[in-house]
């Protein structure tokens, strides 16, 4: 059915009851993605609910739209029976028609419960490759079992989609690619904000400012960047690296920085609710991750006109085209990382050209408006498909009943 036709039919009926589910206890890129959807989805077509941990609901705070019904619960392990019963109860109470879980671990628990609760359409978004899997977990047996309860899967990049098909061996026809988005319009390059932000950090306007935005976890590769800093400082001794974010590695990383005598050049500033002014102040944004889905950090950096150096993993090259919208290096290679950072700081015209091209590309391809439009069309498509299959089953049942009555007694 044509998109306009779907929307017209949706408007003539009751809004679709849609629930998002997350069992995360932190607020990062995936959680921003959820908030973007909850803010932007058209209320003419959808009645919205959010089931999430109490910790995440508190982190969302006033950013969560007031008309979104919030259902706090904890459901992250098999012993969370209270959370399981609560989810089934609220699914039935609100007659949820589409359940949308974010990340595999959330879907692993919520999707079978949604099936038990009679939810007609069950959706999962895969936000990245799970490179942490070791041993029997790397065989994806549980993943393929859980996928039986999922009607459709959204991948946030083609890299993630390839991972789902080639490594997890999920059905390709059940996977749709909908890229994540940066909050646009964003703060662009601004000399005043750059100078003011640097001054707050105790740096002068001429001091190069490097920025890494990301949770302090092994995935993000902070150690690789710290290892690269001595080489950067040989040429740019007044360079400052600011690390935005918190996580389990913070004590170890702080100790490593102190041990390497880099405390004067590397600062930990913790979680920052609004990172856009930091990107506007930085000379280079660095993301040395070992794996990514489609990194929000890179989108936000380029949207702010900040040059990017990142690792060539998963969906990142779909944003950072090496030499055109930024520079790419192999993951785990501190020497190549230092060389790329040095090039960005040394050749400012090249750096600004890549940032300008990247900003145009992000605005054209990865806007929140496009994320909302693509996701709405996805929901309406899967709901139409469910209704058509339901109608076919009813018709087939009636035919069987008629045929039975026609048989001679």
**CATH number of the structural domain spanning residue 390:** 3.40.50.2000
**Which domain covers residue 377, as residue numbers?**
3-181+368-398
Whether residue 224 is found in the same domain as residue 267: yes
What pLDDT sits at residue 278? 87
Whether residue 217 is found in the same domain as residue 316: yes
Q: Are 267 and 240 in contact (CB under 8 A)?
A: yes
Whether residue 60 is found in the same domain as residue 170: yes
Structural domain includes residue 406 = no
Q: By C-alpha distance, which of 302, 311, 282 is closest to 354?
A: 302
How confident is the chain (409 residues) per 10-residue block, as mean pLDDT?
51 84 91 95 97 96 95 92 95 97 94 96 92 68 90 95 92 94 62 69 81 95 98 96 95 97 94 84 95 91 94 95 97 98 97 95 91 96 93 72 63
Residue 390 buriedness (CB in 10 A; 0-12 / 13-18 / 19+): exposed
Whether residue 321 is found in the same domain as residue 392: no
Quote the tokens at residue 301. 């950096």
Segment holding 345, helix H or strand E: helix 334-346
Structural domain includes residue 186 = no
Q: How many domains is the chain partitioned into structurally?
A: 2
Structural domain includes residue 122 = yes
Q: pTM for the full model?
A: 0.80
What pLDDT sits at residue 42? 97
Whether omega for the bond prior to residue 213 falls within 30 degrees of 0, making it cis, is no
What pLDDT sits at residue 1? 44
3-state secondary structure of 151: coil
Whether residue 289 is found in the same domain as residue 314: yes
Structural domain includes residue 9 = yes
Structural domain includes residue 95 = yes
Structural domain includes residue 321 = yes
Structural domain includes residue 404 = no
Whether residue 18 is found in the same domain as residue 93: yes
> Tokens 């390709």 label which residue?
172
Whether residue 141 is found in the same domain as residue 288: no
Whether residue 276 is found in the same domain as residue 388: no
Whether residue 151 is found in the same domain as residue 224: no
Whether residue 51 is found in the same domain as residue 169: yes
Contacts of 36 (CB under 8 A, 6+ apart): 181, 183, 368, 371, 372
Whether residue 105 is found in the same domain as residue 195: no
What pLDDT sits at residue 198? 74
Whether residue 112 is found in the same domain as residue 232: no
Structural domain includes residue 260 = yes
């Amino acid at each position: 059915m044509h998109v306009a036709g779907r929307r017209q039919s949706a408007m003539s009926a009751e809004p679709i009851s849609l629930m998002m589910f997350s069992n995360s206890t932190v607020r990062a890129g995936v959680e921003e993605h959820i908030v973007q959807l909850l803010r932007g989805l058209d209320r003419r077509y959808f009645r919205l609910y959010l089931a999430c941990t109490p910790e995440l609901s508190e982190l969302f705070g006033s950013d969560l739209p007031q008309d979104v019904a919030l259902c706090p619960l904890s459901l992250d392990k098999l012993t969370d029976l209270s959370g399981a019963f609560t989810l089934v109860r609220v699914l039935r109470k609100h007659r949820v028609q589409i359940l949308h879980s974010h990340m595999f671990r959330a879907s692993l628990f919520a999707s079978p419960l949604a099936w038990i609760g009679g939810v007609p359409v069950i959706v999962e978004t895969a936000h990245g490759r799970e490179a942490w899997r070791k041993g029997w977990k790397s065989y994806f047996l549980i993943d393929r079992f859980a996928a039986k309860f999922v009607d459709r899967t959204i991948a946030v990049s083609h890299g993630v989609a390839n991972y789902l098909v080639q490594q997890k061996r999920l059905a390709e026809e059940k996977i749709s690619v909908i890229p994540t988005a940066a909050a646009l319009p964003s703060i662009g390059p601004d000399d005043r904000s750059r100078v003011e932000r640097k001054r707050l950090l105790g740096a002068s306007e001429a001091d190069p400012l490097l920025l890494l935005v990301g949770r302090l976890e092994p995935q993000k590769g902070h150690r690789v960047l710290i290892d690269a800093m001595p080489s950067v400082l040989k040429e740019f001794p007044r360079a400052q690296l600011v690390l935005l974010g918190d996580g389990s590695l913070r004590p170890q990383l702080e100790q490593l920085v102190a041990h390497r005598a880099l405390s004067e050049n590397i600062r930990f500033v913790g979680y920052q609710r609004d990172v856009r002014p930091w990107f506007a102040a930085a000379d280079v944004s660095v993301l040395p991750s070992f794996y990514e889905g489609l990194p929000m950090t890179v989108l936000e950096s380029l949207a702010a006109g900040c040059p990017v150096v990142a690792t060539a993993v998963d969906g990142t090259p779909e944003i950072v085209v090496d030499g055109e919208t930024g520079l790419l290096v192999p993951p785990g290679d501190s020497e190549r990382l230092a060389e790329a950072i040095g090039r960005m700081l040394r050749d400012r015209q090249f750096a600004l050209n890549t940032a300008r091209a990247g900003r145009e590309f992000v605005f054209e391809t990865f806007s929140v408006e496009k994320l909302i439009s693509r996701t709405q069309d996805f929901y309406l498509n899967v709901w139409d498909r469910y209704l058509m299959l339901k109608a076919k089953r009813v018709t087939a049942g009636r035919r069987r009943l008629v045929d039975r009555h026609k048989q001679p007694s």
